[in-house]
Amino acid sequence: QVQLQQSGPGLMKPSQTLSLTCAISGDSVSNNGATWNWIRQSPSRGLEWLGRTYYRSKWYNDYAVSVKSRITINPDTSENQFSLQLNSVTPEDTAVYYCARALTSTGGNWFDPWGQGTLVTVSS
């Protein structure tokens, strides 16, 4: 059974860098039939896919245009986890952040499982 465990701070000040980690058990971040995603949820923006990292003989990333200039998603094969960094946060980045796997070997990109979620609040 695949499980994702998130960690990282929940309170930040504007202009700081948000850093979250998602530890994987029951699968490998290098699984070439999966992608590893970050998704956030806020009352104003709903569920918003932020980006993904995945391995297909080499590492790839895709990012949402809305955050593309500020986001980095990195795999960590030694710890079997992946991370999210979001630079220059503002109060608009306040949201619950989730990591999630998509098993692309199915041909699809639905998200299962999800991490437990981390509420990140950006406030001065």
Which residues are at the interface with another protein (CB under 8 A)? 46-49, 62, 64-65, 98, 100, 102, 106-112, 114-117
Q: Which two tokens stand for residue 7?
A: 């960690």
Q: Which is nearer to another protein, 14 or 33 (CB)?
A: 33
Q: Which uninterrupted H or E stretch holds 92?
A: none
Q: Which is nearer to another protein, 13 or 43 (CB)?
A: 43
Cβ of residue 124: shortest distance to another protein, in angstroms?
Answer: 27
Cβ of residue 90: shortest distance to another protein, in angstroms?
Answer: 20
How many Å apart are CA 104 and CA 34, to the nearest integer? 5
Which residue type occupies 86? L
